[in-house]
Structure 1
């Protein structure tokens, strides 16, 4: 253990050995006041990179996502635990403390924890934490170089700032659903949300990047700062070329289902036993595709001889290609097209995902010990660093699992003081 690490974790090297590690952020302390998805996703990124993350939860109930099930994890006897699949996917490598921040004693605990933290992360409604003296303006008085990140639906400014923000609503407001779903006139037409909460997840990712930039700035200048993250801002930002296309042309993008607006064929195709994706990005790949399917003449058809013409005549071409792809199985097509160097892939269900040889080789599924579940399956972090690798030091915590430990370690409270806080319902 380095001298800096010893000082950081005070008088408890044994605890540091348990919660620390060799991650790039092993010198960073995070006080996580966030709940549900965007904030916890960000905090888990920081924790995976080695930061000591304390997750603050409500006594008795905790983070709402603890109750978002089924499914709940089964223990080794096959009995259901209280650990929801939703909660465990975003809270590994954290310690849980329960604190009632509506009470003055609880607010004082948070202030003391913040005073020795590098980062505070929260996703309360605009102005809510100011009522408790736990907003940035108040906490920077106890820690002048504090990095404080707020995540809300619509940001700290603007006419919508006080509205609650939900991922589903933001996917609609931010334009994503206007270009996702089957095209007009196709069976099942209509706007469609993503199958996962992308506005929350991307906001968590952007928040991670912003926090790390603030850490670098603090290390260079000694200055902390405030970070204002909004789901709506993020949703619009990640529309990428779609948003840019509108700003460039003034034309409102439309839904195309699984097809591309600028490349044909670049979409899903039916096979005799399922679906596959073909992404023929140039004329040569298109020729290889139709040749593999026994329809080489399509590549010489004047209407389909290059990509701009294929885009123009997609309504005539795509049914011909679908008739071709239905003649073989998904596996047969994947084998043929891989040999022909045509970009392609299956559409896997999650059983197929985790049985895939590439997924297995990359060790994306991991198993960790857990105090109530025995063994718990998780999805590994996708970050692979050669010098400071990701470590799963702790499983997702049970509610308040580390409350006493943290109060002893960080606030130097003795057993009688902690017992008094429990009795009052503060923790």
Structure 2
């Protein structure tokens, strides 16, 4: 979808049963289509192909012959059974960029099912998410799916850039587990350096304080103090003079060590007003702070800041109207375009697709996916 937003013609190949996420409901949009599917499939053309038939395979190979990019997320080895793997296709089309997305890579984990929840559990993310008193928790969205999709996008674009220079394509491999492990960043690096696995800390940060949420006289407030100047300003706004000079809190290291005492003192002062009012006062003093919004409030904030976080897509062919999340990448000369609403199953069966062109990169998703 990211490629399609910037002009790629994307042909989404679905089985006769359709992308699994079409059935992941509720909720649904005004046309009865699941919003899960809609969130990742605008600007794509849907074609139904049964790859288990000779006619289906012939049609798929015909489409591939005119594509710059193939994207597939079957379990490793399945595309080889169809003769649609990179090694086979690259013989006839050496300029092809071929992206394989899997759950656990092509090795010993090839047969493991690649679902976001499973990877969050096996990949350690759940062990550091949630409060210390509660059970491990997943992120509120399929975060690993999204990260892996972004890595696939980056890999495809880099491979195309290399092809611009060499004329030769290559295979791009990404998997959910590797994407998650790389995204553990400071937590993962700390584990490698010390041998100790981090634990759940709720909304607190292992290396910075105060850097978490606090109860106020009305609502939760997130405070993200990153240096001593900001901490001094926080103390001034809260009416806690001299607290920044207290040996327990005068440096970030000492604040981390005395986190519990510090939180108690700050929350006592924060009881005097609401999170919304504290946000205004603290931001005015240069202290990073904000009330904890729900999703609707977050969109309101984005619109108020002029970020245009959502768009209305009016499909010129079908007349369907779809509310969509805006593409977060802003290009000054070639911005994202929202041309088509998420397709119905097989909507573009029998369509004539554009001829091969480096200026209109085509992706060919070859299986149903949550991405």
Establish whether TM, by shorter chain, passes 0.5: yes
Aligned residues: CA RMSD: 1.8
* Counterpart in the other structure of 1:92: 42
Cα distance between partner residues in 2 of 1:357 and 1:368 = 18
Asked whether the 8 Å contact 1:113–1:410 carries over to 2, the reply is no
Aligned to 1:345, what secondary structure does the other structure show? strand
Say whether residues 1:220 and 2:220 are aligned partners: no
* Counterpart in the other structure of 2:369: none
Deviations 1:50-93 (A, max 9, x none): 1111011122x31111111111111xxxxxx2311111110111
What does 1:213-292 correspond to in 2, within 5 Å? 213-292=158-237
* Counterpart in the other structure of 2:131: 182
Aligned to 1:268, what secondary structure does the other structure show? strand
Cα distance between partner residues in 2 of 1:181 and 1:86 = 24
* Counterpart in the other structure of 2:327: 381
Distance 1:133 1:359, change over 3 A: farther
Cα distance between partner residues in 1 of 2:303 and 2:235 = 27
Deviations 1:87-111 (A, max 9, x none): 1110111111111111000000000
After superposing the two structures, state which structure 1 stretch, 387-396 or 116-125, moved more: 387-396
* Counterpart in the other structure of 1:65: 21
- Quote the offset at 1:374 in angstroms: 3.5
Q: Is the radius of gyration larger for structure 1 or structure 2?
A: 1
Asked whether the 8 Å contact 2:302–2:309 carries over to 1, the reply is no
Equivalent residue in structure 1 for 2:114, among 160, 165, 170: 165
Asked whether the 8 Å contact 2:191–2:197 carries over to 1, the reply is yes
What does 1:128-143 correspond to in 2, within 5 Å? 128-143=78-93
- Quote the offset at 1:372 in angstroms: 6.6
* Counterpart in the other structure of 1:12: none
TM-score, length basis structure 1: 0.79
Aligned to 1:83, what secondary structure does the other structure show? coil
Distance 1:406 1:58, change over 3 A: farther
- Relative contact order higher in (CA < 8 Å, ≥ 6 apart): 2
* Counterpart in the other structure of 1:54: 11
Equivalent residue in structure 2 for 1:344, among 289, 312, 315: 289
Asked whether the 8 Å contact 1:354–1:360 carries over to 2, the reply is no
Aligned to 1:108, what secondary structure does the other structure show? helix
- Quote the offset at 1:240 in angstroms: 0.8
- Quote the offset at 1:392 in angstroms: 0.9
Equivalent residue in structure 2 for 1:117, among 47, 67, 83: 67
* Counterpart in the other structure of 1:4: none
Equivalent residue in structure 2 for 1:193, among 112, 117, 138: 138
Cα distance between partner residues in 1 of 2:59 and 2:40 = 24
Aligned to 1:367, what secondary structure does the other structure show? strand
* Counterpart in the other structure of 1:34: none
Aligned to 2:296, what secondary structure does the other structure show? helix
Deviations 1:148-184 (A, max 9, x none): 1111111112x2222111111111222212221112x
Aligned to 1:47, what secondary structure does the other structure show? helix
Which stretches of structure 1, 4 residues or more, deviate above 6 A after TM superposition?
Answer: none
- Quote the offset at 1:359 in angstroms: 5.1
Asked whether the 8 Å contact 1:353–1:359 carries over to 2, the reply is no
Unaligned 5+ runs, structure 2: 357-371
Unaligned 5+ runs, structure 1: 1-43, 75-80, 412-427
* Counterpart in the other structure of 2:308: 363
